[in-house]
């Protein structure tokens, strides 16, 4: 954006008057773009990606052009480009856009090393840095999902694997749970109910889905264990759930599915590797039931819920 043009549009230093003239406060930019205020400030401070105007008292004010720029940043992030390499792409003409290297692998290697050494502080420090710079979807898609896949492969038949897995999954549950709790505290309205339908004590991808949904200004409720089919409808009614996500990396008892869908009055999403395991049967059920959707991974689950206009 032309600096002279931007300076000519500098808002009146009176905050209330500037808002009345159409300038946008940071909380509203966060709401309409899904990028939280802390991340917007980090983009400004560390990379100069988005530079808002300031009132005399330091309030940040954004224009409509700033909001468009934030959405362009998100487009690049969702393509897997790291935040440190986006500024030249924003400033370049479209014909000059090209594939760039990114820092995601560097972050994953740093976190894997911390996991191998059971270093909670270093794991936490690395993750906190990434979380301060990236919205939930690219964070999950380009860091956590590939990291979980790499770890699963690394742990197969490896001495010490169970120790590392318990360490990492305990940390991850605590970390994501704290973030989801923080998000929920600022939200209101009916939640999306996410339920672990496998016999695994922890389904990481269930929690990644919950993180992305709660970061989309939609409250979530996570039940990290199976709920009896006869009681699931009760949970939906008491919570007034706007949707139910049944997540599993293992096979499901599909014989109970028709009765379950009949009892639940909100949209149902079946997600996880179980969708691939039961691909034919679930495809038929989905075609026959308008309220049933399918997703193979957390990103797809988030997209399906968004398509249902739930947030």
* CB 311 within 8 Å of CB 305: yes
What pTM, to 2 d.p., does this model score?
0.84
Give me the mean pLDDT over the 254-281 stretch: 89
User: In the predicted model, is pLDDT for residue 266 greater than 50?
Assistant: yes
Residue 37 structure tokens = 């205020």
User: In the predicted model, is pLDDT for residue 97 greater than 50?
Assistant: no
Give me the mean pLDDT over the 189-198 stretch: 95
Residue 278 structure tokens = 């039961």
Cα-flanking dihedrals φ and ψ of residue 221, to 5°? -130, 120
**Residue 102 has what pLDDT?**
67
**Residue 189 has what pLDDT?**
93
Q: For 103-186, give the CATH class.
A: mainly alpha
The dihedral built from the CA positions of residue 53, 59, 63 and 68, taken in this order, carries a sign that is positive
* CB 298 within 8 Å of CB 304: no
Q: Which residues lie closer than 8 Å to 95 by C-beta, 6 or more apart?
A: none
Average pLDDT, the chain: 88
Tell me the per-residue pLDDT of 175-188, one tens digit each, with 9 for 90 and over: 999 999 999 999 99
**Residue 175 half-sphere exposure, CB side, CA atoms within 13 Å?**
18
* Nearest alpha carbon to residue 275 among 265, 259, 286: 286
**Residue 253 has what pLDDT?**
84
Give me the mean pLDDT over the 115-143 stretch: 95
* Nearest alpha carbon to residue 251 among 300, 198, 195: 198
The vertex-67 CA angle with 62 and 69, nearest 5°, equals: 115
List the single range of 14-23, 141-150, 180-189, 222-231 with lowest mean pLDDT.
Answer: 14-23
Give me the mean pLDDT over the 239-262 stretch: 89
User: In the predicted model, is pLDDT for residue 272 greater than 50?
Assistant: yes
Q: Write the DSSP symbol of residue 12.
A: P
Q: Which residues lie closer than 8 Å to 138 by C-beta, 6 or more apart?
A: 74, 77, 78, 80
Cα-flanking dihedrals φ and ψ of residue 60, to 5°? -80, 135
For the chain, give every domain's residue range: 3-94, 103-186, 187-311
**Residue 156 has what pLDDT?**
87
Give me the mean pLDDT over the 197-214 stretch: 94
**Residue 256 has what pLDDT?**
80
d(CA 15, CA 60): 9
200 or 147: whose pLDDT is higher? 147
User: In the predicted model, is pLDDT for residue 114 greater than 60?
Assistant: yes
> Considering the domain 187-311, what is its CATH architecture?
3-Layer(aba) Sandwich (3.40)
User: In the predicted model, is pLDDT for residue 223 greater than 90?
Assistant: yes
User: In the predicted model, is pLDDT for residue 4 greater than 60?
Assistant: no
Q: For 3-94, give the CATH class.
A: mainly alpha
Residue 192 in 3-state DSSP? strand
Give me the mean pLDDT over the 161-169 stretch: 96
């Amino acid at each position: 954006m032309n600096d002279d043009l931007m300076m000519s549009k500098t808002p009146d230093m009176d905050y209330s008057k500037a808002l009345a003239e159409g300038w946008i406060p940071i909380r509203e930019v966060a709401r309409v773009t899904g990028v939280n205020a802390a991340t917007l400030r980090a983009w400004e401070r560390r990379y100069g990606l988005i530079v808002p105007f300031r009132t005399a008292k330091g309030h940040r004010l954004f224009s409509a052009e700033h909001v468009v720029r934030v959405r362009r940043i998100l487009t690049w992030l969702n393509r897997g480009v790291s935040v440190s390499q986006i500024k030249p792409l924003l400033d370049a003409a479209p014909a000059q856009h090209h594939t760039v290297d990114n820092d995601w692998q560097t972050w994953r290697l740093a976190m894997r090393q911390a996991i191998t050494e059971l270093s909670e502080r270093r794991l936490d420090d690395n993750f906190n840095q990434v979380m301060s710079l990236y919205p939930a979807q690219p964070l999950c898609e380009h860091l956590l999902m590939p990291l979980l896949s790499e770890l699963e492969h690394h742990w197969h038949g490896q001495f010490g694997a169970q120790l590392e897995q318990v360490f990492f999954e305990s940390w991850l549950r605590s970390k994501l749970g704290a973030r989801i709790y923080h998000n929920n505290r600022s939200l209101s309205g009916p939640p999306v109910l996410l339920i672990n339908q496998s016999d695994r004590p922890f389904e990481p991808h269930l929690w990644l889905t919950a993180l992305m949904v709660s970061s989309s200004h939609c409250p979530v409720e996570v039940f990290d264990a199976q709920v009896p089919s006869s009681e699931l409808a009760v949970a939906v009614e008491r919570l007034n759930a706007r949707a139910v996500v049944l997540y599993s990396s293992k096979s499901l008892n599909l014989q109970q599915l028709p009765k379950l869908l009949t009892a639940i009055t909100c949209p149902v999403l079946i997600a996880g590797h179980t969708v691939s395991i039961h691909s034919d049967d679930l495809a038929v059920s989905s075609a026959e039931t308008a309220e049933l959707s399918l997703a193979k991974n957390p990103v797809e689950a988030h997209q399906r819920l968004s398509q249902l206009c739930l947030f």
